[in-house]
């Protein structure tokens, strides 16, 4: 589709700058917000209506937060091709609501590594669910908008303000490419750290 209406978004961000304002803009347009942990608390504190991921999955966050979004009710909602009737029928049969936007930025592993914490503590700052959601949304850019950084909030606000019908395919593809680049750099940074840090 050329223009993607944004009706449902999942937000899970480490960098919360501009988050409340961006989320407020979305809710003002009738977008349903789903969120995790600290992001959920920030949005609730801002007076916004937001659904927790646990309420969507029917499963609590476990393993100290290592497992939150790794669930079919999240990833099927992100990966479904909205132009594929079989995909949409599957969602309907399983009562899974599709997402239209994934707004995620990753744990700041570089800061953790720079603090000189031991290896076991450092690996806790390796984001798993975030890259999974980012990659899924970027792969499915024909049906999804992926937002990997707060720096893009103003462009999305401008785009939605200029195009009430939704976000253009051109912007979705651009942000998908940027997302894959960022996830690749993130993984490369972790690989270098693991290769060069003593046990």
Confidence of residue 110 (pLDDT cuts 50, 70, 90): confident
Distances in Å between the alpha carbon of 95 and those of 11, 77, 149? 21, 10, 30
Please give the pLDDT value at position 118: 81
- What is the domain-level CATH number for residue 152? 3.40.50.1380
List, for residues 51-91, the tens digit of each pLDDT value: 999 999 998 888 887 888 889 999 999 999 999 999 999 99
Domain that holds residue 176: 3-196
Q: How far apart are CA 12 and CA 17, in angstroms?
A: 12
The domain tally of the chain equals 1
Q: What is the mean pLDDT of the chain?
A: 92
Residue position matching structure tokens 């031991």: 118
d(CA 129, CA 147): 15
Distances (CA, A) of 61 to 37, 58, 133, 192: 9, 10, 16, 30
Neighbours of 184 (CB within 10 A): 12
Q: Are 59 and 79 in contact (CB under 8 A)?
A: no
- What pLDDT was estimated at residue 157? 96
For the cut 80, the answer to whether the pLDDT of residue 40 exceeds it is yes
CA distance 125 to 122: 6
Q: What is the pLDDT of residues 183-197, one digit of tens each?
A: 999 999 899 888 888
111-163, pLDDT tens digit by residue?
877 777 788 888 888 889 999 999 999 999 999 999 999 999 999 999 999 99
Question: How does residue 23 score in pLDDT terms, banded at 50, 70 and 90?
Answer: very high
d(CA 95, CA 26): 24
Q: What is the pLDDT of residue 184?
A: 95
Helix (H) or strand (E) segment spanning residue 103: strand 101-105
Q: pTM of this prediction?
A: 0.92
More confidently predicted of 197 and 28 = 28
**Complete DSSP assignment for 16-66:** -TTHHHHHHHHHHTT-EEEE-HHHHHHHHHTT---EEHHHHHTS--BGGGT
What does the pLDDT read at residue 61?
84
Q: Is 141 helix (H, G, I), strand (E, B) or coil?
A: coil
């Amino acid at each position: 589709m050329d223009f993607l209406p944004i009706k449902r978004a999942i937000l899970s961000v480490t960098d919360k700058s501009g988050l409340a304002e961006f989320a407020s803009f979305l809710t003002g347009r009738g977008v349903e917000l789903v969120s995790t942990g600290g992001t959920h608390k920030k949005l609730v504190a801002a007076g916004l209506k937001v659904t927790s991921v646990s309420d969507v999955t029917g499963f609590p966050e476990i393993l100290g937060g290592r497992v939150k979004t790794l669930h079919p009710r999240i990833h099927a909602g992100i990966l479904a091709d909205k132009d594929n009737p079989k995909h949409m029928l599957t969602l309907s049969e399983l009562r899974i609501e599709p997402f239209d936007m994934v707004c995620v930025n990753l744990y700041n592993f570089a800061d953790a590594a720079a603090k000189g914490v031991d290896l076991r503590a450092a690996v806790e700052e390796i984001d798993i669910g975030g890259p999974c959601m980012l990659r899924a949304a970027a792969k499915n850019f024909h049906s999804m908008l992926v937002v990997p950084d707060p720096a893009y909030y103003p462009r999305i606000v401008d785009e939605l303000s200029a195009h009430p019908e939704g976000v253009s395919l051109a912007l979705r593809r651009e942000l998908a490419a940027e997302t894959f680049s960022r996830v690749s750099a993130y993984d490369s940074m972790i690989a270098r750290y693991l290769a060069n840090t003593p046990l």
